[in-house]
Amino acid sequence: MTPEFSRNHFELFGLPVAYAVDTTVLERAYRDLQGRVHPDRFASASEAERRVAMQWATRANEAYRTLRNPIDRARYLLALKGFDTGEESNTSMPPDFLMQQMEWRESVEDGRARHDPGALEGLRREIDESRTEMHAFLARALGGDRNYDAGCSLVRKLRFLDKIEAEIDDALEAIADGVPAPRRAASPKGND
Amino acid sequence: MSLLQISEPGESPEPHQRRLAVGIDLGTTHSLVAAVRSSSAECLPDAQGRVLLPSIVHYGAAGGVEVGYEASARAADDPANTIVSVKRFMGRGVADVAKYGALPYRFVDAPGMVAIETAAGLRSPVQVSAEILKTLRARAEQTLGGELHGAVVTVPAYFDDSQRQATKDAARLAGLNVLRLLNEPTAAAIAYGLDNASEGTFAVFDLGGGTFDLSILRLTRGVFEVLSTSGDSALGGDDFDQAIAVHWRVTHGLADASGRDTRRLLVAARQVKERLTSEESADAQVTLTWGQQLHLGLTRAEFEEITASLVQKTLGPTRKALRDAGLAVEQIDGVVLVGGATRMPHLQRAVAGFFRREPLVNLDPEQVVALGAAIQANALAGNRAPGDDWLLLDVIPLSLGLETMGGLVEKVIPRNSTIPVARAQEFTTFRDGQTAMAVHVVQGERELVSDCRSLARFELRGIPPMVAGAARIAVTFQVDADGLLSVSARENTTGVSASVVVKPSYGLTDDEVATMLRDGFDHAQSDRDARALAEQRVEAEGLLAALRTAIAQDADLLSPEDRAALEAGSASVEAAARGTDHRALKAAVEALNRLSEPFAGRRMDRSVSRALAGRRLDEVPTK
């Protein structure tokens, strides 16, 4: 592996190894890098160069995907610091968070059963608020506080929120697909 | 911006080195070929001045094949041997095509994909599509006056891996060098974006003859970034024709019309549908096979009524694409309409209503995909003009995963991942002493394997016997820039490792393509060898030239031994190119490619280093 290829995701884009990322700079660095390494740049080059280009573009996409998403970024940063977020193994949560979870889950089921997209959207806003708050905690834990254990716990909690949001999306999709909108395509004007 | 001034290997702006490259829109109802000529893209017409080629192939009993308008003329009289809308059958099994209702073909369940029994024998949809592509290739070579270097062939964004693989196989069978498979809405966005120098977030609503795609793209400083894509690969303008035909069958008591009558009704339905775009009512005369004359009419209001549910059906994927992109309707800066079916007024109203803005229609919705593909082909062939330096970042439309115990799907690469992408997932054994593992690759969003499309199955053998759960089997998925998947698996706890790379089950092997080429053409063996040799020589010349340039630029990255090895490898290629054995030449080219890969890697590394250094120097936060 060549030196640049083996850099970590942050270094690959010329960013400091830190949770706080300037997304404008990240996006620009990503497009810049893809502009150099993307297979489209080497479509008429030798087989060897095309293979290298595909490996590099794959690497750039993976790094960008990881850094763009705050949870993935936090998990990656924690791993660099030697901390495992333990999302598969560590399922212990504070009781009040678990209670909140159950309430949300019930609301999703309720909204789905009652075909109530409004309630589901409202629930999503509520969860989004929680998420914003947790992101702020995460930024503090991984920034000034350097409290990596707290960071791991927050990542686990945020994963839960993501799962609930996915359930809301599924419910909304089911409602949208299952119930045809009561609109006639032929407007009165069309009959003239 | 610094991005725009990079000169890359393989780019040759000198006009005398210009390579002929085309974009091909292989559509359900029509196909087109376009090329960039004197700096702007245009669709290439046939001898009669028509740019659209009906995607229809007729097989005659004497072995004759007609394509396009000639074939179209046969549809009413010989429907069983006149293949219409073959795109719907690409990469599809018998159960899939059954969903399209009564079709006048004799389908045969061939491994991987249906085949059609014709007067000329059994034909795979890949072969039928290849006939269309051959016709377009001939048109392009005649118009452009030379052999094509390559082609970009478009596919619906929502095509799965089997459908993409089938399309690529068809192009290879037609003798085309496929520079890239390009998603249709993305192609349209290129044509629009470069034409209008647009910036912002756009939705491309693409309703073709048989497929529907909705893609959300962000255009920023010459980068086309697809944020999400959704669609329905079995919904298109054809369904609107069907709806009219069904309506007539009900209203005129034609429940058991024959294959020929069905075809006649559909032809009339399409004409009426097209006229209803500008007229309030339209009618058609149809003569049925037993001589009965039918006068069939339809008002626009009736048409809109009977097709309202089809229009509704496009909005589900539209909402899904927006959700996947994490965007609200208000955040879309423009909506582009693509595909002939988007000419229907009630569809345009529905789209405008959903996005709360009038869609853009300033480029011909039937030509825009081919034009975008031509622009991409021109760039990939290395004909970019300096400053003409845009980049395309596309996604996969459907999640890719593996079957796990209990018939459940474990997703490995989620939908809307930017390609190329690779992801590895670890699995383990569930029985003590288990030495083999069955890997079943599927594509789709559902949790049950039975609800997803099966792409490939293979077995990893030679796992050292261990207790259950001890083995660590890494399964790696790699999706390339065409959106095509390859999968490999290896066991690496004990240092013993095995790996296998599969192609999806619908893909044809190189040998199968060779056999089909042999069957389909009357070329003598010597002709084929001569062609293979000529192709290999071009390949060899390109490689040698690229390597010479690379060595001249970055000689310091090579040790004297490396350099001597590359020079020896080049000499072998040169020697083989002077000979007449195309297999020996191919082997020499492959060997030199392998030999030069570390050098290519170091050169890329240097290019990235320079970019990083440049950014550190001139990076000024721009907010």
The CA distance from B385 to B377, in Å, is 13
Name the residue facing A177 among B3, B309, B316 (closest C-beta): B316
The CA distance from A83 to B405, in Å, is 31
Identify whether the C-beta of residue A185 lies closer than 8 Å to the C-beta of residue B350: yes
Strand B293-299 and strand B391-393: the pairing is unpaired
| Residue B251 CA: distances (Å) to CA of B102, B308, B365 | 18, 18, 33
Query: What phi and psi values does residue B73 have, to the nearest 5 degrees?
Result: -65, -20
Identify whether the C-beta of residue B276 lies closer than 8 Å to the C-beta of residue B303: yes
CA A33 to chain B, closest CA, distance in angstroms equals 7
**Beta carbons of B596 and A173 less than 8 Å apart:** no
CA dihedral B266, B270, B276, B278 (to 10 degrees): -170
Three-state secondary structure call for residue A15 = coil
pLDDT at A132: 92
In 3D space, the residue among B35, B17, B304, B310 whose CA is nearest the CA of residue B150 turns out to be B35
Q: Which residues in chain B touch residue A31, judged by CB atoms under 8 angstroms apart?
A: 3, 220-221, 223, 225, 391
Residues in chain A: 192
Best residue in A4, A8, A26, A37 to probe B by mutation, most B CBs within 10 Å? A4
Helix (H) or strand (E) holding B230: strand B223-232
In 3D space, the residue among B128, B231, B107 whose CA is nearest the CA of residue B170 turns out to be B128
The CA distance from B87 to B125, in Å, is 7
Q: How many CB atoms lie within 10 A of CB B410?
A: 15
Q: Residues in chain B with pLDDT < 50?
A: 1-16, 620-623
Q: List the end-to-end C-alpha distance of chain A, in Å, as a whole number.
A: 71
For residues B574 and A183, the model is more confident at B574
CA A159 to chain B, closest CA, distance in angstroms equals 16
Sign of CA dihedral A128, B334, B395, B310: positive
Q: How many CB pairs under 8 A join A and B?
A: 181
For residues B407 and A189, the model is more confident at B407
Does B587 lie at the interface with A, CB-CB under 8 angstroms? no
Burial of B370 (0-12, 13-18, 19+ CB in 10 A): buried
Q: Which residues in chain B touch residue A38, judged by CB atoms under 8 angstroms apart?
A: 391, 393, 481
Identify whether the C-beta of residue B314 lies closer than 8 Å to the C-beta of residue B214: yes
Q: Which residues in chain A touch residue B309, judged by CB atoms under 8 angstroms apart?
A: 180
Q: Which residues in chain A touch residue B306, judged by CB atoms under 8 angstroms apart?
A: none
Does A61 lie at the interface with B, CB-CB under 8 angstroms? yes
CA dihedral B163, B164, B170, B176 (to 10 degrees): 170
Does B199 lie at the interface with A, CB-CB under 8 angstroms? no
Best residue in B299, B376, B418, B592 to probe A by mutation, most A CBs within 10 Å? B418
Assigned token pair, B456:
């490939």
pLDDT band at A191; cut points 50, 70, 90 = very low
Three-state secondary structure call for residue A130 = helix
CA A88 to chain B, closest CA, distance in angstroms equals 13
Closest residue in B to A192 (Cα) is B280
The CA distance from A60 to B285, in Å, is 60
In 3D space, the residue among B106, B102, B108 whose CA is nearest the CA of residue B82 turns out to be B106
Identity (one letter) of the amino acid at B42? Answer: E
In this prediction the ipTM stands at: 0.85
Query: What DSSP designation does B449 have?
Result: G
Which residue has tokens 């010459």? B222
Closest residue in A to B621 (Cα) is A25
Closest residue in B to A6 (Cα) is B605
| Residue B540 CA: distances (Å) to CA of A45, A127, B587, B598 | 11, 59, 11, 19
The CA distance from A139 to B32, in Å, is 53
In 3D space, the residue among B85, B143, B83 whose CA is nearest the CA of residue B116 turns out to be B83
Q: What CATH number was assigned to the domain covering residues B237-310? A: 3.90.640.10
Q: Which residues in chain B touch residue A53, judged by CB atoms under 8 angstroms apart?
A: 604
pLDDT at A192 over 60: no
pLDDT band at A190; cut points 50, 70, 90 = very low
Does A163 lie at the interface with B, CB-CB under 8 angstroms? no
The CA distance from B51 to B42, in Å, is 10
Q: Which pLDDT tens digit goes with each residue over A9-52?
A: 999 999 999 999 999 999 999 998 999 999 998 887 888 999 99
Q: Which residues in chain B touch residue A173, judged by CB atoms under 8 angstroms apart?
A: 316, 319-320, 323
Identify whether the C-beta of residue B140 lies closer than 8 Å to the C-beta of residue B148: yes
Which residue has tokens 């700079």? A25
**Beta carbons of B391 and A31 less than 8 Å apart:** yes
Q: Which residues in chain A touch residue B417, judged by CB atoms under 8 angstroms apart?
A: 61, 65
Nearest-5° Cα angle at A116, A115 to A118: 155
Distance of CA B490 to the CA centre of its chain: 30
Does B596 lie at the interface with A, CB-CB under 8 angstroms? yes
Domain boundaries, chain A: 9-68, 95-178
At the top level of CATH, which class does the domain B2-235+315-393 belong to? alpha beta
Q: Is the peptide bond before A95 cis (omega within 30 degrees of 0)?
A: no
Identify whether the C-beta of residue B248 lies closer than 8 Å to the C-beta of residue B261: no
Q: Which residues in chain A touch residue B384, judged by CB atoms under 8 angstroms apart?
A: none
According to DSSP, the residues that pair with B212 across neighbouring strands are B207, B232
The CA distance from B349 to B340, in Å, is 15
Classify domain A95-178 at the CATH topology level. Answer: Monooxygenase (1.20.1280)
Query: What phi and psi values does residue B439 have, to the nearest 5 degrees?
Result: -110, 120
Domain boundaries, chain B: 2-235+315-393, 237-310, 400-511, 523-617
Helix (H) or strand (E) holding B403: strand B400-404
Residues in chain B: 623
At the top level of CATH, which class does the domain A9-68 belong to? mainly alpha
Best residue in B608, B618, B623 to probe A by mutation, most A CBs within 10 Å? B608
Classify domain B523-617 at the CATH topology level. Answer: Substrate Binding Domain Of Dnak; Chain:A; Domain 2 (1.20.1270)
CA A92 to chain B, closest CA, distance in angstroms equals 24
Q: Which residues in chain A touch residue B9, judged by CB atoms under 8 angstroms apart?
A: 42, 45, 49
Three-state secondary structure call for residue B457 = strand
Q: How many CB atoms lie within 10 A of CB A20?
A: 10
CA B9 to chain A, closest CA, distance in angstroms equals 7
According to DSSP, the residues that pair with B183 across neighbouring strands are B155
Strand B30-37 and strand B21-26: the pairing is antiparallel
pTM metric for this prediction: 0.87
Whole-number mean pLDDT of chain A? Answer: 86
Does B234 lie at the interface with A, CB-CB under 8 angstroms? no
**Which DSSP string do the residues of chain A spell out, in sequence order?**
--TTTTS-HHHHTT--SSS---HHHHHHHHHHHHHHH-GGGGTTS-HHHHHHHHHHHHHHHHHHHHHHSHHHHHHHHHHHTT----TTT-----HHHHHHHHHHHHHHHHHHHTT-HHHHHHHHHHHHHHHHHHHHHHHHHHTTT--HHHHHHHHHHHHHHHHHHHHHHHHHHHHHHHS--S--SS-GGGG-
**Beta carbons of A46 and B547 less than 8 Å apart:** yes
Instruction: Kindly list the catalytic residues of B.
Output: 25, 87, 184, 206
- Rg over CA atoms, chain A: 22
At the top level of CATH, which class does the domain B400-511 belong to? mainly beta
Best residue in A2, A8, A12, A44 to probe B by mutation, most B CBs within 10 Å? A44
Residues 129-158 of B with CB under 8 A from A: 149
